[in-house]
């Protein structure tokens, strides 16, 4: 019997679908492509990324997307540059500023709208953000709607590599939005184990390792720069190069470590994943449930004005 690989290898680099507009404020491409809403990426569902884009100043209604419903999952919105405002049917509202994260539990149903902040609308500027959808386990599909407004300063930041001496050279940092990295726990509370790390790797040529549970699905998204993912056995590592806005689904071969080599200075990646729910996924538009009947009920509830109360 051959030994298990020491490091996770790339199973698949996903195609890059064309960009599209969500409302008039979010010019995104679907990062997960044809794997969206598939078991291979569970508990994640979908990932829209809006690359840096310059918006002119504007008078009047902010750019964005109007009121719409959700049920059965959570949305996670990260603002990298610029600001996003939101308002929902519970009366909650706020601004997601640069570096902040909004973790919204739609649960049994919520109506909300998202748009450029008053500041970005008035002054114009560069806008960059992403939004992920995270599935809820079936026992929590009808949870009470709610928000976790996570400010940048409250997100734990870990120096890399893990376990290095305090006076050793830092190879970068990881913001732990959710999950655990080493002995460090993320800022978000989740209904199932989810990993969401925002990693900055400034030093070209450096190699960094990340522990990642062997039974968890794992995805690497390159936001800026480029990396090589080094997978396989220690004595025979295979390099898979990922460039800007590439996304790779990692193997589930029993390996519990991820290793990357930085190919450009100023590289930034996101490492995402979690424990698969192993439950049926029924999806239609803004609703994610377990059965078609539950989807039909969600639509009926929305049409009858029962959602968001």
Residue 159 CA to residue 202 CA, distance in Å, equals 12
Per the CB < 8 A criterion, the answer to whether 44 and 132 are in contact is: yes
Q: Is 114 annotated as a binding residue?
A: yes
Per the CB < 8 A criterion, the answer to whether 73 and 50 are in contact is: no
Between the CA atoms of 33, 38, 41 and 43, what dihedral angle is there, to the nearest 10 degrees?
Answer: 130
CB atoms within 10 A of CB 275: 16
Any residues with CB less than 8 A from the CB of 169 and at least 6 apart, and which? none
* Residue 137 vs residues 44, 74, 191: alpha-carbon distances, Å: 11, 11, 7
Q: Is 20 annotated as a binding residue?
A: no
Q: Is 86 annotated as a binding residue?
A: no
Per the CB < 8 A criterion, the answer to whether 196 and 132 are in contact is: yes
* Residue 51 vs residues 13, 79, 129: alpha-carbon distances, Å: 19, 11, 7
The gap from C-alpha 207 to its chain's centroid, in whole angstroms, comes to 23
Single out the residue of 118, 24, 135, 154 nearest to residue 76, CA to CA. 135
Q: Is 68 annotated as a binding residue?
A: yes
> Strand pairing of 101-105 and 146-150?
antiparallel
Residue 81 CA to residue 177 CA, distance in Å, equals 17
Single out the residue of 25, 24, 15, 284 nearest to residue 129, CA to CA. 25
SS3 call for 83: coil
Annotated binding site for Fe cation: 68, 70, 112, 114
Annotated binding site: 68, 70, 112, 114
């Amino acid at each position: 019997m051959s030994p298990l690989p020491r490091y996770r290898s790339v199973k698949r680099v996903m195609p890059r679908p064309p960009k599209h507009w969500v409302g008039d404020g979010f010019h995104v491409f679907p990062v997960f492509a044809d794997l969206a809403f598939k078991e291979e990426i569970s508990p994640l569902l979908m990932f829209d990324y809006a690359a840096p884009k310059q918006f002119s100043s504007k008078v009047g209604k902010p750019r964005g997307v109007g009121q719409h419903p959700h049920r059965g999952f959570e949305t996670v919105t990260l603002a990298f540059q610029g600001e996003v405002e939101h308002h929902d049917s519970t009366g909650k509202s706020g601004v997601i500023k640069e570096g902040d994260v909004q973790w919204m539990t739609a649960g049994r149903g919520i109506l909300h709208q998202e748009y450029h902040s008053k500041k970005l609308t008035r002054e114009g500027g560069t806008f960059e953000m992403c939004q992920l959808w995270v599935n809820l386990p079936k026992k929590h599909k009808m949870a009470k709607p709610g928000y976790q407004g996570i400010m940048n300063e409250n997100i734990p930041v870990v120096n890399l590599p893990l376990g290095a001496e305090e006076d050793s050279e830092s190879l970068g940092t990881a913001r732990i939005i959710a999950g655990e990295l080493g002995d460090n726990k993320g800022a978000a509370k989740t209904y199932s184990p989810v990993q969401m790390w925002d990693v900055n790797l400034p030093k070209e040529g450096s190699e960094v390792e990340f522990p990642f549970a062997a039974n968890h699905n794992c995805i690497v998204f390159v936001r800026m720069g480029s990396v090589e993912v080094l997978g396989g056995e220690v004595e025979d590592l295979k390099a898979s190069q990922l460039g800007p806005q590439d996304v790779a689904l990692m193997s589930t071969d029993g390996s519990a470590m991820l290793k990357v080599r930085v190919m450009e200075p100023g590289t930034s990646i996101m490492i995402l994943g979690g424990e698969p729910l192993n439950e049926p996924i029924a999806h239609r538009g803004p609703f994610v449930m377990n059965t078609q009947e539950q989807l039909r009920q969600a639509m009926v509830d929305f049409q009858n004005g029962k959602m968001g109360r």
